[in-house]
Amino acid sequence: MGKQKKARKYATMKRMLSLRDQRLKEKDRLKPKKRKEKKDPSALKEREVPQHPSCLFFQYNTQLGPPYHILVDTNFINFSIKAKLDLVQSMMDCLYAKCIPCITDCVMAKIEKLGQKYRVALRITKDPRFERLPCTHKGTYADDCLVQRVTQHKCYIVATVDQDLKQRIRKIPGVPIMYISNHRYNIERMPDDYGAPRF
């Protein structure tokens, strides 16, 4: 009789220590799982409801009133220049009240970054009628800055032509949007009680 051949074992693995083995050091050992406590079905369920600001009374913003503070975006200034509109005068024609255009540090930085091509916009923003708002947050992304400011303080109207920014602001209750159409300023989501024109 011939020698019996030994079959080679495929896909075999060396025996390894379990991570819960007592021979392992305490720091390398796997911690035992904690059992979840069963919830009492008779207990009351708590849920968090977002707190709405006190200035909103049935979507009517009581902080909004003349003189209007209008947060201006970069592209709004550029489109106003293209449409040959005076910012402050056109705002007053739209709202029939005194308007104070406000510009944040982020928007100012964005206009300065645009360079020589937008020097007219830079000169307009340095007008003494514009109110300068300092920014305390990190980064200089203008859209985030405007959304954050409007969320915290509901006393502003946002002037922008940017569709993405408009979509973000529409989700915040009680904040009107000013935009340009047919070579004039229009306002969106302004309460009727303020006497704003409807187009």
State both tokens at 186.
């229009």
pLDDT at 57: 61
- Mean pLDDT of the region 40-54: 70
Taking each continuous run of H as one helix and of E as one strand, the counts in the chain are 6, 8
pLDDT digits (tens, 9 = 90+) for 91-111: 999 998 999 999 999 999 999
Domain around 172: 68-190
Residue of higher predicted confidence among 38 and 84: 84
Taking Cα atoms as reference points, which of 195, 155, 162, 194 lies closest to residue 178?
A: 162
pTM for this model (two decimals): 0.68
Sheet arrangement for strand 68-72? 131-133, 99-104, 68-72, 156-159, 177-181, 184-188
110 inside domain: yes
- Residue 136: CATH number of its domain: 3.40.50.1010
State both tokens at 39.
């919830």
27 inside domain: no
Q: Above 60 in pLDDT, residue 58? A: no
pLDDT digits (tens, 9 = 90+) for 122-165: 999 999 999 999 988 887 788 999 999 998 888 899 999 999 99
The count of domains in the chain is 1
77 inside domain: yes
3-state helix, strand and coil shares in percent for the chain, rounded to the nearest 5: 30, 15, 55
23 inside domain: no
With bands split at pLDDT 50, 70 and 90, how would you rate the model's confidence at 199? very low
59 inside domain: no
Q: Specify the length of the chain in residues.
A: 199
134 inside domain: yes
9 inside domain: no
197 inside domain: no
